[in-house]
Amino acid sequence: MYRKIVTIAAALLFVLCPSWLAMAAGADLSLSAGSAAAGDAVTVSGTAAPGALVPVKVVDGDGHIVFYAEAAADAGGGYSCSFAMPEVNPGALTVVAGSGSDVASGTLTATQSGGGGHSSGGSGGSSSPGAVHDTTGKAYVYPSAGGTVSLGGRAGVVIPAGALQGSSAVRVAVQEVDSPPAAPAGFMVQGTAYRLTVDGQDHYNFNRPVTLTFTFDPSSLAPGEEPAVFYYDEGSGQWVNIGGAVSGNTITVTVDHFTQYAVMTAQESLPAPEEKLSVTLKDISGHWAEANIKKLVALGAISGYPDGTFIPDSTITRAEFAAVLVKAFHLEAKGGKVFSDTANHWAKDFIAAVASLGIVSGYPDGNFGPDEFITREQMAVMTVKAAGLAGTAPELTFTDTRDISDWALEAVAVSTDSGIMKGYPDNTVRPGGSATRAEAVTVILNALSSK
């Protein structure tokens, strides 16, 4: 019913106003462009009641919402919201700002990109929703597209496609907690705590890990003091330390569910983090890599998930593996390269570090593929280079040796000959197979022991 009302209101407005600008009582809307191709930046701006939270929607011809965000109007009533044009079928989209009777609408024409545009797979097919990039702390996110939701840059979540359950858009929110549970004895909260929810639920479990990023004030830390991310376990009534990767004034972690989170530091009198940190991982007991996982977790190079699992047989991405390498080998960047697809990635500093040391070089097209699952031969090359291993590579006798890429042949030979990486019982090495978290931990730990 709401969609029908919006469509009728939009049709009347378009008759009275230019095709890319329409107005409604008390609110107005303008677009930075009348047409855009997928990926182009588009800004919606206008005026509304001072301090109002203005819903902004982009609706395709089939009535599907392909973008949604909420923009806060300033003291003068001005609001602005920018987004990347989603991949949709060429044609007219309706942009709607406001709610109820206080609505402004405009038309944005989706055009084909230079590469031929989005293929619908047939006439009459519905448009694919685009990834959301929101800074208001509240946005609707489609599971098939994912997106980024942050609260003014202070705290945010990057949700990859496929991480959310179901197929319908859900409301993701990042909010400050007015009265969070008290910090553990000897710890101090840096800034404030945040509650992250999906459709109002703060106990939401994702299909795959999402990335959280928080900012903190480095000047508030004592020399040598390291911040860490904690999540609140309501079952036990305790905050749990899950570490995090620090870069400048931000700290990043990967998690698989939402709850309350906060950045904390230990008071000076407490022992070092590796001495005080004790995390019980509930899914590694009896696993072949149990001892290795515990050792690398104790070193602070990798961590489990907020629900107490490690998921040892899950895959690991190229970005995640780079981060673990940097932390395990204490690698320092030397003016590393920023790839075309890592400039805004949570692991950009880790990737830049390994690139500056010649551990990785990326792909010929200038990309790194940070969210691709790392293969076993890629893992061998990166580990051998990080550990500085050399030697005469013996002839390999695996039954699938011919499947090893030429650029990885020597590294696979050195790593298997030194015992850093092992083949499988069927005498294969599976060079193109995705490495698991347990395998990555074991290879890195073996390399550390060989130094």
pLDDT > 50? residue 135: yes
> Residue holding tokens 């320092």?
332
The CATH superfamily label for domain 1-118 reads: Macroglobulin (MG2) domain (2.60.40.1930)
What pLDDT was estimated at residue 411?
Answer: 92
pLDDT per residue as tens digits for the range 313-354:
999 999 899 999 999 998 876 666 788 888 888 888 888 888
pLDDT band at 289 (very low <50, low <70, confident <90, very high): very high
> Residue holding tokens 């047939």?
122
Q: Which residue has the higher pLDDT, 25 or 256?
A: 256
pLDDT per residue as tens digits for the range 381-415:
999 999 888 766 678 989 999 999 999 999 999 99
Amino acid present at 408:
A
pLDDT band at 40 (very low <50, low <70, confident <90, very high): confident
Q: Using an 8 Å Cβ cutoff, are 380 and 408 in contact?
A: yes
* 69 Cβ contact list (under 8 Å, min separation 6): 55, 56, 81, 83, 132, 134, 136, 138, 139
What pLDDT was estimated at residue 274?
Answer: 41
Torsional sign, CA 190, 192, 193, 197: negative
193 to 179, 182, 259: CA distances (angstroms): 9, 10, 10
Q: Using an 8 Å Cβ cutoff, are 59 and 25 in contact?
A: no
295 φ/ψ sector (left φ>0, alpha ψ -120 to 50, else beta): alpha
Assigned token pair, 99: 């709610």
What pLDDT was estimated at residue 334?
Answer: 62
pLDDT > 70? residue 171: yes
Rounded to whole angstroms, how far apart are CA atoms 89 and 424? 47
pLDDT > 80? residue 88: no
Looking at 160-234, which runs of residues are DSSP E strands? 170-176, 187-189, 194-198, 205-215, 228-233
- Measured in whole angstroms, the distance separating CA 49 from the mean position of its chain's CA atoms is 34
Helices and strands in the chain: count of H runs, count of E runs: 8, 22
What is the residue extent of each domain of the chain? Answer: 1-118, 131-278, 279-451
What pLDDT was estimated at residue 87?
Answer: 67
State the chain's mean pLDDT as an integer. 81
Rounded to whole angstroms, how far apart are CA atoms 237 and 242? 16
Torsional sign, CA 117, 33, 57, 23: negative
pLDDT per residue as tens digits for the range 141-170:
888 888 888 888 899 999 998 999 988 888
CATH number of 131-278: 2.60.220.30
What pLDDT was estimated at residue 120?
Answer: 34
Rounded to whole angstroms, how far apart are CA atoms 280 and 59? 47
Pairing of strands 91-99, 53-59: antiparallel
